[in-house]
């Protein structure tokens, strides 16, 4: 049996592997490996950065030996490999590219290490080299019990918002992960928006990044976990991720991304959806080499459940709503009116001079406020919003729940005079404590 956990530890460790090959005439070659990646129990991938002798040899004679040393036990392994193919795009390549950027930055090799391809090898045999070893240290986290403790609380959560809170609480309590956030995918705009976070000075709820940008964006685009063990500027997020202001827009509709200023390790895991991922769970730490393959395993298992529960919430809404008593029309509030502006060009909504939200969540708020203003309505359901053309959901499978979480959080954080209150499954109440003057800034411009 292949000791794949040990191999993963070796490939993650700081001791570089050694690759031996033979030319067709039998001349041996020995070289140090920059990066190796565990693919599955039968395959691993080595980085192809230069057309060197190793590369020439494996194209002519596919046999190679990879020598590895376990970073904790010092156990040496020799992995007999057969070269199969090279990938220059896709999940394995992108995952290795991100990791290599981290290694290059860590080792002062930025600009020298550039991934040309991922060479995929079949694992033929793993030899445990005889020698002196050290006892394996007791890991800080016992992963299976931690995963169980985290997972068993998730199905008891009643809605998307408490699901995400429970997830982040569990990561902190059972895995000691102190900095984490969840971003959801807006497929229509190819952007991800933050809906929940832990461990940052500001929550960053509503902050956005482009799909493909940094470890989170690459994880979403390639649908693969991206884990880097060393800080690298190549995958860092600037403090303000700006979307390029469009003409006629108010200047500042950006919410700063909340991430650590100097992360040592980062791990982004896509939350699976039916087609595109629903979003990305992102964790980071100031400590280098903080997240192991085992952390990645645990987070992948957790987000599989999170994704399934999101779909369950959606299905429940399709099945029907809880009966809701008729509510008397609520009186309009009194006081100085607050000007609420909406810019149709990016669906942004400003309360007074303060930017609140944009995109589909901006449309949702504007729809609610219009109905409140015109009809005096305060009671709404997720289901009717899904069908309302003014909300302009990109498609029927859209994750409306996540957009409501975003809107709810933004209003709560801003302590706005408009709030959303959950009144039942898929239902909520709009609470307005000040008169509002709605102004559609782009009316007549179209």
Partner 1 sequence: MPSAAPIHLGPDYVRFMTGGVSINTGSGGSDGLPSQCRAFGCRVDAEGGRITVFLAAPQAADLLRDVTRSQAVAVVFSDPPTHRTMQVKGRDARVESLAEGDLARVSAYRTAFVQCLLPLGFTESTVRAFLDCPDEQLVAVTFTPDAAFNQTPGAQAGTPLIPGAG
**Which residues contribute to the site for partner 1 (CB under 8 A)?**
14-16, 18, 20-22, 24-32, 34, 49-50, 52-53, 61, 63-65, 67, 69, 71-74, 76, 78, 80, 107, 109, 112-113, 129-134
Phi-psi region of 289 (alpha: psi -120 to 50; beta: other; left: phi over 0): left
Q: Where are the alpha helices (DSSP H) in 254-358?
A: 293-319
The alpha carbon of residue 101 and the mean position of all alpha carbons in its chain are separated, in whole angstroms, by 19
Q: Select 20 or 345, whichever has its Cβ closest to partner 1.
A: 20
Q: Select 128 or 433, whichever has its Cβ closest to partner 1.
A: 128
Report yes or no: 439 and 340 within 8 Å, Cβ to Cβ: yes
Whole-number minimum distance, CB 133 to partner 1, in Å? 6
Q: Select 116 or 301, whichever has its Cβ closest to partner 1.
A: 116
The two structure tokens encoding residue 240: 């303000």
Q: Select 112 or 240, whichever has its Cβ closest to partner 1.
A: 112
- Burial class from Cβ neighbours inside 10 Å (0-12, 13-18, 19+) for residue 165 reads middle
Which strand (E) or helix (H) includes residue 401? helix 400-413
Name residue, tokens 């298992």.
Answer: 301
The two structure tokens encoding residue 150: 């985290």
Q: Select 133 or 370, whichever has its Cβ closest to partner 1.
A: 133
Name residue, tokens 């020598």.
Answer: 67
- Burial class from Cβ neighbours inside 10 Å (0-12, 13-18, 19+) for residue 10 reads buried
Whole-number minimum distance, CB 64 to partner 1, in Å? 6
Q: Select 132 or 336, whichever has its Cβ closest to partner 1.
A: 132
According to DSSP, the β-strands at 436-440 and 338-343 are parallel
Whole-number minimum distance, CB 116 to partner 1, in Å? 13
Whole-number minimum distance, CB 21 to partner 1, in Å? 6
Q: Select 72 or 210, whichever has its Cβ closest to partner 1.
A: 72
Whole-number minimum distance, CB 289 to partner 1, in Å? 9
Name residue, tokens 């302590």.
Answer: 415
Q: Select 28 or 394, whichever has its Cβ closest to partner 1.
A: 28
Distance of alpha carbon 386 from alpha carbon 399, whole angstroms: 10
The two structure tokens encoding residue 329: 């029309």
Neighbours of 324 (CB within 10 A): 13
Q: What phi and psi, each to the nearest 5 degrees, are found at residue 215?
A: -65, -35
Q: Select 68 or 151, whichever has its Cβ closest to partner 1.
A: 68
Q: Select 46 or 219, whichever has its Cβ closest to partner 1.
A: 46
Report yes or no: 376 and 416 within 8 Å, Cβ to Cβ: no
Whole-number minimum distance, CB 102 to partner 1, in Å? 16
9 contact partners, CB below 8 Å, separation of at least 6: 70, 71, 72, 292, 293
Whole-number minimum distance, CB 78 to partner 1, in Å? 6
Strand 418-424's sheet: what is its strand order?
379-381, 427-432, 418-424
Whole-number minimum distance, CB 144 to partner 1, in Å? 27
Whole-number minimum distance, CB 73 to partner 1, in Å? 8
Strand 348-351's sheet: what is its strand order?
354-357, 348-351, 338-343, 436-440
415 contact partners, CB below 8 Å, separation of at least 6: none
Whole-number minimum distance, CB 55 to partner 1, in Å? 10
Q: Select 61 or 346, whichever has its Cβ closest to partner 1.
A: 61
Beta bridge partners of 191: 186, 210
Whole-number minimum distance, CB 31 to partner 1, in Å? 6
């Amino acid at each position: 049996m292949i000791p794949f956990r040990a191999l993963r530890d070796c490939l993650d460790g700081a001791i570089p592997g050694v690759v031996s090959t033979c030319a067709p005439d039998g001349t041996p070659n020995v070289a140090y490996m920059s990066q190796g990646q565990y693919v599955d129990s039968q395959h691993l991938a080595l980085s192809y950065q230069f057309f060197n002798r190793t590369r020439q040899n494996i194209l002519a004679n596919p046999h190679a030996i990879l020598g590895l040393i376990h970073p904790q036990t010092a156990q040496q392994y020799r992995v007999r490999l057969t070269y199969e193919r090279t990938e220059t795009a896709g999940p394995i390549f992108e995952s290795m590219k991100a990791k290599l950027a981290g290694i290059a930055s860590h080792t002062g090799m930025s600009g020298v290490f550039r991934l040309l391809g991922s060479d995929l090898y079949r694992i033929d045999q793993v030899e445990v080299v005889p020698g002196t070893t050290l006892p394996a240290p007791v890991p800080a986290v016992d992963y299976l019990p931690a995963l169980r403790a985290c997972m068993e609380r998730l199905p008891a959560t009643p809605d998307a918002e408490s699901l995400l809170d429970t997830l982040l609480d569990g990561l902190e309590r059972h895995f000691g992960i102190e900095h984490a956030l969840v971003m959801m995918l807006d497929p229509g705009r190819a952007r991800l928006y933050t809906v929940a976070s832990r461990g940052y000075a500001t929550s960053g709820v509503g902050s956005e990044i482009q799909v493909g940008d940094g470890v989170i964006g690459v994880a979403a685009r390639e649908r693969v976990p991206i884990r880097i063990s060393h800080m690298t500027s190549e995958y860092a997020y600037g403090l303000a991720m700006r979307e390029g202001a469009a003409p006629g827009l108010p200047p500042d509709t950006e919410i700063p991304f909340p991430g650590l200023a100097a992360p040592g390790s980062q791990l982004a895991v896509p939350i699976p959806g039916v087609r595109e991922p629903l979003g990305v769970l992102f964790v980071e730490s100031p400590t280098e080499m903080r997240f192991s393959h085992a952390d990645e395993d645990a987070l992948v298992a957790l987000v599989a459940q999170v994704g399934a529960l999101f779909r369950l919430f959606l299905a429940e809404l399709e099945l029907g709503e809880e009966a809701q008593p008729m509510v008397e029309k609520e009186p309009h509030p009194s006081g100085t009116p607050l000007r609420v502006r909406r810019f149709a060009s990016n669906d942004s909504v400003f309360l007074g001079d303060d930017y609140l939200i944009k995109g589909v969540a901006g449309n949702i708020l504007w729809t609610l406020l219009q109905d409140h203003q015109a009809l005096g309505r305060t009671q709404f359901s997720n289901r009717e919003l899904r069908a309302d053309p003014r909300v302009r959901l990109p498609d029927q499978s859209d994750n409306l729940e996540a957009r409501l979480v975003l809107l709810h959080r933004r209003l709560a954080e801003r302590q706005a005079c408009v709030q959303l209150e959950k009144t039942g499954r898929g239902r909520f109440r709009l609470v307005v404590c000040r008169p509002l003057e709605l102004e559609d800034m782009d009316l007549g411009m179209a």
